[in-house]
Amino acid sequence: MACRLPGGVSTPDELWELVAEGRDAVSGFPEDRGWNVEELYDPEGSRPGTSYCREGGFLYDLADFDAEFFGISPREATAMDPQQRLLLETSWEALERAAIDPTKLRGEPVGVFSGVMYHDYGSQTRIPEELEGYHGIGTASSVASGRVSYTLGLEGPALTVDTACSSSLVALHLAAQSLRNGECTLALAGGVALMSQPTSFVEFSRQRALAANGRCKAYAEAADGTGWAEGVGVLVLERLSDARRSGHPVLAVVRGSAINQDGASNGLTAPSGPAQQRVIRQALANAGVSADGVDVVEGHGTGTTLGDPIEAQALLATYGRDREVPLWLGSLKSNIGHAQSAAGVAGIIKMVQAMRHGVLPRTLHVDQPSTKVDWGSGAVELLTEARAWPEVERPRRAAVSSFGVSGTNAHVILEQAPQEAETPPPAGDGGARTVPWLLSAKSEAALRAHAERFLADVVGLDSVAVAQTLLHSRAALTERAVVVGGEGGELSLGLRALAEGVPSPLVVTGSADVEGGTVFVFPGQGHQWAGMGARLLESEPVFAGALAECARALSAYVEWDLLEVLRQVEGAPGFDRVDVVQPASFAVMVALARLWHHYGVRPDAVVGHSQGEIAAAHVAGALSLEDAVRVVALRSQAIGGRLAGLGGMMFLPVSRAEAEERIAAYAGRVEVAAVNGPASTVVAGDAGALKELFEAASGAGVRARMVPVDYASHTVHVEAIEGELAEVLAGLVPRAPEIPMYSTFRDAWLDGSTVLDASYWYGNLRHEVRFASAVEALAGAGYRAFVEVSAHPVLTTAVQDLLDAHADSPAVTTGTLRRDEDTSARFHMSLATLHTRGIATDPLPDVTGHHHVDLPTYPFQRRRYWLEGPSGSTDAGALGLAADAHPLLGAVAELPGSGGVLATGRLSRSTHGWLLGDADGGPAAVPASALVEMAVHAGDQVAAGALDELVVETPLVLPATGAVSVRVQVGE
C-alpha cells in the first residue's frame, strides 16, 4: 500500500498514527496554486465565484515530483497533471512495500486500475507555447492509468475509472475481477484526487453543501456539509495463492466486493438507500459471509445532512439485524476530509491498518449521533471513542463503502490475512556472518538520502532479512552502494558514512555503467602470502570444499598436505619452496573461482599469466582437475630440482621497448619475461646480471623491484627441463575449452588447433608472457569486467592501465582477496565492486526462503513543477489586459487617451519568495531593487528614457500568508 493524504501523511503507517492519535488534518487553502485566496473567500457565500469555506484537507506539496527518476523531461513534467505524477510515485512505493522489484514487472500481465475525477490542471492558465505538445496527454484521464503501465512496462489491463467519489473502490472491484478472470497476474488499484482549481469549493458553496469549517462531521447531529480533501492511494492486489508462493507479504484479503447504480431514484445526485442496501447484500454474497460476520464498516460518511442518514439507515437494515454484537461504524473523512476519488482507497488503507493493529479508531467531530437516524432499529454503533477490535473466533472483517455523486455505489469486504507459520530467521545470522546491504538510486543525492532513511528504520531488524529484502524487492538502479558488515554495528557505521558522503572501508559505491563480458584473470607467482585462504576456509564452505578437492588431487604427487600448508600447521613446508607455493597458489585460485561462481559471477572468458594459465585452463574446462594438478605439481618440482638458485626475476615500471634497451648490455644473460602493461615489464635471467641491472636502474631513478623467486622463468634457463617435462607430463588429456580462453603464450584464442599437452606447458614456461597484448585483445573484443582471481591483486593495476586506453566505454577491474585480508568481508567488498558497476552477482546464494521486512521506500528527489501564471478572475486576458512575461508584473494595459500604461501584478511568498532571500516566514519588505525593476519595466512600455529618482514612502511588505496587488502607472 502507498498513499499521500492530508496532514503530511506520506505512508500507510503515518496514516495510522494520524487516526490512532485522533488528529485533525484539515487546514487553510494552499497559496502556491495561483488561487486568489482573499478574493475566493466570502463568509456569507453570496458572491459568485467564492466559497464560504476556506479550509480543507490539502496536499501542500502536490506540485513536487521526481521527474528525472521516471525519465520525464522538465517540460513534460510541468505540463503533466500532478495526479499522474503522484500515481507514478505511489505505484512505485506500493510495489516496493509489497516486496516486488518494479523493474522486474516489465512485459508482465500486470493491470493498472485508477480512479480519477478531476481534470482541471491548467484549465484556467494560458499554456506556454513550448508546453503545448505535452499538456493534452498530460491531463487526459485515460493516461493516468496508461502512464503507469507505460513507465513500468506493464502489459495487463489499464483503465481509468470516473464514478466520482466511488472511483477508487470501483477500480479496486474491477482489479479483483480482472485477477479472478485471469486477465492479469498482479494489479495496481487505487485513486487520486487533487484540486488544481478551487472549482469544487465554489460549486458546492452555491449548493450550500459545504461544512462552514471544512470538517466532515460524519453521522453527527452537528453535520452541516462535507469538507473537501485531496489524496492518492495505491494498493497492490494479487491472488492469495500467488502471493504466498512468491513470498509477498499479505496485509489483508479482499473477501468480496460489489458495485451497482441508483438508477431512476430521487434525483441524479441524491443517494439511494435501497441501492446501497442492494450493493451491501451483493458484496456479502460475493464474499460468502453473513452480515454478522463483519465487525466494522468504514462508511462513506461525508457529513451531509441528507446522505449520512440515508447511509446509516441502509447499514442498519443490512448489517444491524439479527446480530449479538453491534456493527461499529466510523469514517476517515472526519480526520482528513472527503478525498473524493481517493476516499475509498484511503478508507481501505485505514481499515487494513486497524485490522493489523487490532484497534478501531474514533470518528472525530461527533457532538452526538444524528437524530435523523433511527439508531434503535438495528445494532449499529458509531465509533465516538477508540476501542479494541472485537474478540471473535474467526478472522477479523471490515467493510468499506463509497458512493458516487452520479449514483455508482461500491462496497468492499476485507478479511484479516490468514496466519502463516512462523519462519525462522535466515540461518547463519547473529552478528558473525558478513552481510551485504545493496542500495541504489537514480542519483548520488538520492543514494545518500536512502542511507539516511535506513539509519532510522532498520534498527533491531534481522540484518540478513534486510539484505534479502533489498536484493529481491528493490530495483537495482544506476547509482549503487553496498554496505558490508558483520559484528559491532558495522552496517550502521557504513550507512552513516554513505549518508554523509564520506569514504568508508565498509562501503563500495559506483555507477552501473559497465556493459560487456567478464574475464577471470589468473596471475602467476607473486600473489601468495603465508596463511592465505585460512580464514576463508572457516567461513565459506564452497571455498573449503574446492580446496579439499584440490588437496585430494595433489596428494598423488606431493608428500605434504595442502590444508596444513595454508593453515601454517607446525611442520608443514613453507612458501619458500617453489614446489609448494605454485600448487598452493593454483589451488587457492581454483577455489576462489568456485567461490565467484557460487556468488553468481561466471566468466565469459579466462586468461592466465604464466603459471596462472594452468588454473585458467582448468576453470575454462580445457583441463580436468587431475590433469591440472599434475601439470602444476610436477612442473614446479622440475623447476625446484633443476632451476632453483640459478636465476631470478625483476619488475621494471617501464615499457617493453625501454626494458629491451636497459637489458641490451646483458644479452644472453637477461631476457624480457613478461609484458604486463604499457609501463609494466618483467625481466628474468642470471642472478648476477639481475643484480647489476637493478643497481643501474635504481641509479637512473627507475623503481625496479625484485620478484621473490630464485629461478628465471621465461628464459633460456627453462630449456634445461624441456625433456623432463615432456616425460612427466606425457599422457595429458586436454579438452576443448567450455569457456573461451585467451593464451598469453600464443597471444591468441585457444581453438581446436591448440592442444594443451606437455609441449604447450613447456612453452608456457619458456616463452614470454604477452599479457598486455592479451588484455588489449580482450578489451577490443568487448570484455569490460576483469576479475583477478588471486589471494592478492598483482595484475589489477596493469589491467586498469590497459583498459584506460579503451576509454570509449567504461570498464571495471577488481581483485578478490588482499594480503592479510582473506575474510568473507573482503570477498564481499570485491563482489560489491562488480555489483556497483553493473555486473550481475548473487550476494546471498545460501539464504533460502522468503524473509521480507518492511524497509523505507525510495527517497524521491522532488522539485516543483507547476503551470504558473495568472488564473481565474485575475487572468490578464479575462481582464482585457495583455499578458506580460515579466517575473513581477503579470499584465499591462494602455490608459485610454493618455498614452500611458498600467502594469499590474500579484506578489506573495509562495510565488516570489526568492525576492526575500533568507528572510524568515513572517512579513518582510520587498527590496527596493525590485521596486526599481518594476518602475523601469513599466517605463519601457512607453519608451521612457530613464528613472531619475525613486522615493519609497512606505515599504511594500509581503505578508506571511496571502498576496499583495501591485499597480505601476506611467503617464497622466
pLDDT digits (tens, 9 = 90+) for 250-265: 999 999 999 999 898 7
- Written as one letter, the residue type at 694 is F
Maximum separation of any 2 CA atoms in the chain, in Å: 116
Q: What is the pLDDT of residues 495-536, one digit of tens each?
A: 999 999 999 999 999 999 999 999 999 999 888 999 999 999
Give the confidence band of 875 by pLDDT, cuts at 50, 70, 90.
Answer: very low
Domain ranges in the chain with CATH number 3.40.366.10: 517-646+710-817
Q: H-helix or E-strand containing 784?
A: strand 783-788
- Could you give the C-alpha distances from 650 to 684, 708, 711, in angstroms and in order? 6, 9, 11
CB atoms under 10 Å from CB of 107, counted, come to: 9
Contact of 205 with 295, CB cutoff 8 Å? no
Integer angstrom CA distances of residue 114 from 69, 198, 217, 228 = 21, 23, 28, 20
pLDDT on residue 893 = 81
List, edge to edge, every strand of the sheet that includes 186-193: 2-4, 231-238, 186-193, 110-116, 158-161
Q: Which pLDDT does position 879 carry in this prediction?
A: 41
Lay out the sheet containing 741-743: strands in order across: 748-749, 741-743, 605-608, 517-522, 783-788, 812-814
Whole-angstrom Cα distance, residue 574 to residue 578? 9
CA-closest candidate to residue 789, choices 523, 450, 395? 523
Task: Quote the pLDDT of residue 945.
Answer: 77
The single residue listed with the C-alpha cell 542519483 is: 443
Q: Cα angle vertex 922, ends 920, 928, to 5°?
A: 80
Q: Is residue 542 within 8 Å of 599, Cβ to Cβ?
A: no
CATH number for the region 876-970 comes to: 3.10.129.10
Q: Which residues pair with 509 in a beta bridge?
A: 481
- Phi, psi of 475, rounded to the nearest 5 degrees: -70, 145
Burial (CB < 10 A; 0-12, 13-18, 19+), residue 253, is middle
May I ask the CATH class of domain 517-646+710-817? alpha beta
Q: Which segment of 550-559, 752-761, 918-927 scores lowest on mean pLDDT?
A: 918-927
For the cut 90, the answer to whether the pLDDT of residue 62 exceeds it is yes
Rama region for 410: left / alpha / beta (φ>0; ψ in -120 to 50; rest): beta
Rounded to the nearest integer, the mean pLDDT of the chain is 93
Strands 110-116, 158-161: pairing is parallel
With cell 485515460, the residue in question is: 142
pLDDT, tens digit, 9 for 90 and up, residues 617-676 = 999 999 999 999 999 999 999 999 999 999 999 999 999 999 999 999 999 999 999 999
Give pLDDT tens digits for 692-731: 999 999 999 999 999 989 999 999 999 999 999 999 999 9
Query: Which ranges in the chain are annotated with CATH 3.40.47.10?
Result: 2-416
What predicted TM-score, i.e. pTM, was given to this entire model? 0.87
- Predicted confidence band at 876 (pLDDT cuts at 50, 70, 90)? very low
pLDDT of residue 190: 98
What are 770's three cell numbers? 604477452
Nearest to 355 by CA among 319, 326, 392: 392
Summarize the confidence of residues 787-792 as an average pLDDT: 97
> What does the DSSP assignment read for 378-429?
SSEEE-SS-EEPPP-SS--EEEEEEE-TTSEEEEEEEEEPPPPPPPPPPTT-
Who contacts 621 (Cβ-Cβ below 8 Å, separation ≥6)?
735, 736, 737, 738, 739
pLDDT at 732: 95
State yes or no: pLDDT of 564 exceeds 70. yes
Return the pLDDT at 356: 97
What confidence category does residue 871 fall into, taking pLDDT thresholds of 50, 70 and 90? very low
At 917 the pLDDT is 66
CB 55 within 8 A of CB 214: yes
Confidence of residue 191 (pLDDT cuts 50, 70, 90): very high
393-427 tens-digit pLDDT: 999 999 999 999 999 999 999 999 998 766 665 55
Give the residue with greater pLDDT, 491 vs 959: 491
Rounded CA gap, 896 and 771, in Å?
Answer: 87
Q: CATH for 2-416?
A: 3.40.47.10
- Sorting pLDDT into bands at 50, 70 and 90, what band is 428? very low
- Span 27-49, pLDDT tens digits: 999 999 999 999 999 998 889 99
Alpha helices in 129-272 (DSSP H): 132-139, 141-152, 167-180, 199-206, 240-246
Q: How far is CA 139 from the centre of its chain?
A: 27
d(CA 190, CA 177): 14
By percentage, how much of the chain surpasses pLDDT 90?
Answer: 80
Kindly state the helix (H) or strand (E) to which residue 336 belongs, with its residue range: helix 333-336
- The tens digit of pLDDT for each residue in 347-381 reads 999 999 999 999 999 999 999 999 999 999 999 99
Q: Where are the domain boundaries for CATH 3.10.129.10 in the chain? A: 876-970
Per-residue pLDDT of 574-595, as tens digits, reads 999 999 999 999 999 999 999 9
Rounded-to-integer distance, Cα 956 and Cα 929, Å: 12
What local confidence, expressed as pLDDT, does residue 882 receive?
Answer: 55
Q: Would you state the pLDDT for residue 592? A: 98
Q: How confident is the model at residue 128 (pLDDT cuts 50, 70, 90)?
A: confident
